[in-house]
Amino acid sequence: MERKVVSLQGKELRTIELSDAVFGLPINEDVIYYAINNELANARLGTACTKDRGEVHGTNRRPYNQKGTGRARQGDFKSPVYVGGGTAFGPKPRDYSYVLPKKVKRLAMKTLLSLKAQSGAMAIVEDFTVESGKTKDFVKRIEALAPADKAERTVVILGDDDEKVKRAGRNLPWLSFLSFNRLRAHDLFYGRKVLVLESAAKSLNEFYADK
């Protein structure tokens, strides 16, 4: 498919050929769910911890005699039924991460790129940089394409790791940067606007081409 390359002012400059195998796939909601769920699971710390009755500090004596009271027998005050006792079936530190099959992850990224391209949320932008590395200069450069609105999440896909651009936009809460070879499903899916640099679009064609 052909898409227009626009300037930072929103003017059409030229056309670029985008691969249908990357930007023209049918939307597969299942793989998108798998990829986002995998990223969220891998980001979990898994440090939640509770003490069971064997770990709680306290006496081991019975609260009352086992026989002769007519009440149910009790072991000790560390039982989960008592205030200050142990927690029954509480969480313990664990690793929530797992590996998603490579083919599934690649398909999810291509599906997300196709989703944004077909929905009109994606724009191919001429390559640019911010020599000063200042946030105000960066905002001025992209304000025609992505106004500074915290409600409008914007994703910029870079062709290379431009440190000056990243430094200029790293403290903007509504903006996130992605490299063409390290995409994140969560950011792509929830990005209301996706700005793809021209060099990144060419790299995406090659990187996600069927092998």
Q: Tens of pLDDT along 122-175?
A: 999 998 888 888 988 888 888 888 776 666 789 999 988 888 888 888 888 888
3-state secondary structure of 154: strand
3-state secondary structure of 155: strand
Q: Would you tell me how many other CB atoms lie within 10 Å of the CB of residue 7?
A: 13
DSSP state of 60: -
DSSP state of 73: P
Average pLDDT on 92-99 reads 96
DSSP 162-178: -HHHHHHHTT-TTEEEE
- Give the whole-angstrom CA distance, residue 158 versus residue 161: 7
pLDDT at 211 over 60: no
- pTM, two decimals, is 0.83
Measured in residues, the chain has a length of 211
Name the CATH architecture for the domain at 2-28+102-207: 3-Layer(aba) Sandwich (3.40)
In tens, the pLDDT along 17-68 reads 999 999 999 999 999 999 999 999 999 999 999 999 999 998 889 999 999 9
Average pLDDT on 175-189 reads 93
